[in-house]
Amino acid sequence: MKFAAPLIEGVLVKRYKRFLTDVKLKSGEIIVAHCANPGSMLSVNEPGARVWLSPAQNPERKLKFTWEIIEMNGHLVGINTAHPNLIVSDAISAGKIKELKGYESLKREQKYGKNSRIDILLTSEGKPPCYVEVKNVTMKRGSGPKDPAEFPDSVTARGTKHLVEMSDMVKSGARAVMVYLVQRADCTSFTIAADIDPTYAKGLKNALAAGVEAICYGCEVSPNGVTIAKPLRLVLPN
């Protein structure tokens, strides 16, 4: 995924009201940018850190910038949760996710379950449909190269609901795959933050037992764009 226009560098002042961010530009001006991330942003919300913003493509939009990237411990992290579905869709189409190769059709945001939408639906004649749920991962609580990326960074009742619905798809004869997309390149493994949301951790354990699959990929992040890099080792609940 490439950014539509060159990003603008600044320094994070603060994030507040979940979706608002104050950023100091190189000119010294402080602007309010949209924060497209509803989570706690634990570990990627440090005042004084370098950040990059995208200019709004719609001139009528109230907030003229969107927060895209933050630099943490010398590594760039993509924080915009609006991008992962596109990043994963592009990677599937390019054959970069080996676990999801071999499907003829890819559709996004398809209705399923109980008033839900699946992020990606893959189909091919003669194969069970494959339901793909994408989760954005930004959190890394340690600073060392062996410290894992973690999900979730806050309690996610919606995420737990998705696990139940994915399990139902498997029971109906379909395939269901959780894709944890780590928008950073400084991790070699991924785990579930059970201390933050034990209900989600239990829900994933149950989903895996029901036949739901889980995979994780890291990303290369730059002011030019965010692309799938390599699979990460999963350390999942026992």
**pLDDT value of position 114:** 76
Instruction: Please tell me the predicted confidence (pLDDT) of residue 57.
Output: 83
Per DSSP (E only), the strands in 26-148 are: 30-34, 50-55, 65-72, 75-78, 105-112, 116-123, 130-137
What is the CATH number assigned to the segment(s) 84-235? 3.40.1350.60
Class of domain 8-78: mainly beta
Q: Give the pLDDT of residue 61.
A: 87
What pTM did the predictor assign? 0.94
Predicted confidence (pLDDT) per residue in 25-79, tens digit: 999 999 999 999 999 999 999 999 999 999 998 888 899 999 999 999 999 999 9
* Pairwise CA distance, residues 178 & 192, whole Å: 13
Q: Where are the domains of the chain?
A: 8-78, 84-235
Which residues of 28-104 form beta strands (DSSP E)? Answer: 30-34, 50-55, 65-72, 75-78
Positions in the chain short of pLDDT 50: none
Angle (CA) 94-99-104 rounded to 5° is 55
Contact 97, 228 (CB under 8 A): yes
Q: What is the rounded CA–CA span in Å between residue 85 and residue 81?
A: 9
